[in-house]
Chain A
């Protein structure tokens, strides 16, 4: 168990290292240059001054050297300075991470509960009316563009009905719990709806398969009530593949969070990464992307652990 965690953590670290190198290079290929802003705000800068600035910031060095330099600083928790926020990157990241975690976790829990209820009720009678409706809904969920779903929510609930605020995390001057809650409803609903479709299909498929197994028939033959057979005997076994799929979906969940945050102006990681790429804030973009990768890798590791916990046949 301990060795397994260690090995997987090392693997994750390796992926992170490779990713940091790839992203570092990709970001170097984005339009503009870290010096552009300084030069633009300083019309008197001669080519000599620019060259000296380049030397000072190390931009005349080969990219491998610059990457090694960045990595050495990053290991010591120095992720550099965000240009657009005029703050160290870590201080910009921390509050954004909190907003995103809140959004992702609440939506995740809601879609897990919803998909369990829908998936199980569909699996009870495959081919029935409930199954048909649930499958149709699930297909709609995996097929809808998240940003358009958000747009339609804004159109209906904010513009037409005036029920909910269209953007932000709180009203200026308010900030009570109720205010925060009201601002969270649409982003959470959008992200949860977009995820429930895929989850439901997995729960349904896994449940149908499990309900056909011998141990379920045995459980019925012993005289257990149908509810107990489904919720205790079948569900636990059906959950094994489902848990893996759910935890592996954190990357997708993060992509959805990026869109939801952008559409509803939530100051989270996704919106921050998007804005930093738009405004050439290289340090912030780089750190944000790596953090997103780190979160995904950590959730995958947890999926493996949950797998071993749910299925005693597997020793890690």
Chain B
């Protein structure tokens, strides 16, 4: 058993070594670490400094930065810094959750289409192509505008912050799974005809066993890269939808909905329009560079090519 364990460690050590030499990849990993620390700093700020993200003070509107409120106050007299932190928690959480849900849909569709082939493949891929062709943002807006009470949810739930949060996770994940599905299908097709897979099938491995044991572990690396890149795209979708008023709804802050009023405020308080957008920008670019670095690290050929 031990020799196999050594081999497994060897691959990941090699990948980690390659990743460490990828400067932008390492830099983005560091930046993402700082961002996570930043959004988690909301807890000490809230409990030890006693700053509440939802308490409004109309006498403190647009107050400039002070020792108590490091980035000043917004249009309703709320602390900007803590709202940026909590909004970041929401935005990052939506990014990760929607990617996981959508990614699982994509992996299932892709591996089923690639493994079974034939008519199922045809139907699933036509469906995926149809989804890819659609203009996603207008569709997301319609999905975001759906009245949950008409779907049988209680009015209390439909207007709660939790509903806004889960709604956006669900609608983004049912729209953004196509890229992963295509990728997984293509990778599955490559693996399916390998000799060891055929041998396993010939010795009577069930379809589920084949996919779980022989196919998915061998296409894990492109899936990881694709998931990473999807996180960036999802964060952008979330910010856009929340900005347009169809995503995370106030008073719950998100980086997107903090820009809701920014358009009118851009003349009076430009800083309020700059911070949240800059954070989205930095997060997404770091995630994309991380994906790039992972791709480099996972590609055995990248040793030779610059």
How many angstroms between the C-alpha atoms of A252 and B139 in the bound complex? Answer: 12
Residues of A within 8 A of B126 (CB): 11
B26 on interface, CB distance cutoff 8 Å: no
A171 on interface, CB distance cutoff 8 Å: no
Given contact pairs A147-B243, A151-B262, A159-B270, A29 touches B147 in the complex (Cβ within 8 A): yes
A105 on interface, CB distance cutoff 8 Å: no
Whether B135 contacts A292 by the Cβ 8 Å rule is: yes
Given contact pairs A26-B143, A145-B239, A15 touches B259 in the complex (Cβ within 8 A): no
Given contact pairs A30-B146, A297-B133, A292 touches B151 in the complex (Cβ within 8 A): no
A309 on interface, CB distance cutoff 8 Å: no
How many angstroms between the C-alpha atoms of A292 and B140 in the bound complex? Answer: 13
Contact with B along A139-176 (1 / 0, CB 8 A): 11011111110011011000100000000000000000
How many angstroms between the C-alpha atoms of A26 and B69 in the bound complex? Answer: 44
Whether A285 contacts B133 by the Cβ 8 Å rule is: no
Given contact pairs A152-B274, A297-B133, A140 touches B138 in the complex (Cβ within 8 A): no
Residues of A within 8 A of B133 (CB): 15, 248, 251, 293, 296-297, 300
A109 CB, nearest partner CB in chain B, Å: 20
Q: Which residue of A lies closest to B229 (CB)?
A: A142
How many angstroms between the C-alpha atoms of A254 and B240 in the bound complex? Answer: 14
Whether B263 contacts A263 by the Cβ 8 Å rule is: yes
Q: Which residue of B lies closest to A149 (CB)?
A: B277
B11 on interface, CB distance cutoff 8 Å: no
Whether A296 contacts B135 by the Cβ 8 Å rule is: yes
Whether B150 contacts A159 by the Cβ 8 Å rule is: no
**Interface size class of chain B, counting residues whose CB lies under 8 Å from the partner chain:** 35 or more
Whether B285 contacts A140 by the Cβ 8 Å rule is: yes
Whether B266 contacts A155 by the Cβ 8 Å rule is: yes
Whether A262 contacts B244 by the Cβ 8 Å rule is: yes
Residues of A within 8 A of B130 (CB): 15, 18-19
How many angstroms between the C-alpha atoms of A195 and B280 in the bound complex? Answer: 18
Whether B284 contacts A255 by the Cβ 8 Å rule is: no
Whether A127 contacts B263 by the Cβ 8 Å rule is: no
Whether A145 contacts B277 by the Cβ 8 Å rule is: yes
Given contact pairs A155-B273, A296-B135, A274 touches B141 in the complex (Cβ within 8 A): yes
Given contact pairs A29-B147, A154-B266, A145 touches B280 in the complex (Cβ within 8 A): yes
Given contact pairs A151-B266, A258-B137, A293-B135, A139 touches B244 in the complex (Cβ within 8 A): no
Residues of B within 8 A of A147 (CB): 239-240, 243, 259
Q: Which residue of A lies closest to B267 (CB)?
A: A159
Majority secondary structure, B binding face: helix
> Which among B138, B150, B151, B281 is the interface contact of A273 at CB below 8 angstroms?
B138
A119 on interface, CB distance cutoff 8 Å: no
Contact with A along B117-155 (1 / 0, CB 8 A): 000000000100010111111110111011100110000
| CB neighbors of B among A221-266 (8 A) | 248, 251-252, 254-255, 258-259, 262-263
A155 CB, nearest partner CB in chain B, Å: 5
B236 on interface, CB distance cutoff 8 Å: yes
Residues of A within 8 A of B262 (CB): 151
B227 on interface, CB distance cutoff 8 Å: no
B165 on interface, CB distance cutoff 8 Å: no
Residues of A within 8 A of B226 (CB): none
Given contact pairs A151-B266, A159-B266, A251 touches B142 in the complex (Cβ within 8 A): no
B232 on interface, CB distance cutoff 8 Å: yes
B211 CB, nearest partner CB in chain A, Å: 28
Residues of B within 8 A of A296 (CB): 133-135
Residues of A within 8 A of B136 (CB): 251-252, 255
Interface centre among A11, A145, A263, A296 (most CB of B within 10 A): A145
How many angstroms between the C-alpha atoms of A159 and B266 in the bound complex? Answer: 8
B99 on interface, CB distance cutoff 8 Å: no
Residues of A within 8 A of B263 (CB): 151, 154, 263
Residues of B within 8 A of A148 (CB): 239, 259, 273, 276-277, 280-281
B177 on interface, CB distance cutoff 8 Å: no
Q: Which residue of A lies closest to B282 (CB)?
A: A143
| CB neighbors of B among A267-300 (8 A) | 270, 273-274, 277-278, 285, 288-289, 292-293, 296-297, 300
Known: A30-B142, A151-B262, A151-B263. 4 other contacts (CB 8 A): A152-B274, A263-B263, A277-B141, A292-B138
Residues of chain A at the chain B interface (Cβ within 8 Å): 11, 15, 18-19, 23, 26-32, 126-127, 139-140, 142-148, 151-152, 154-155, 159, 248, 251-252, 254-255, 258-259, 262-263, 270, 273-274, 277-278, 285, 288-289, 292-293, 296-297, 300
12 contacts between A and B (CB under 8 A): A11-B126, A19-B130, A29-B150, A30-B146, A31-B147, A140-B281, A148-B281, A151-B266, A152-B274, A251-B136, A273-B138, A289-B138
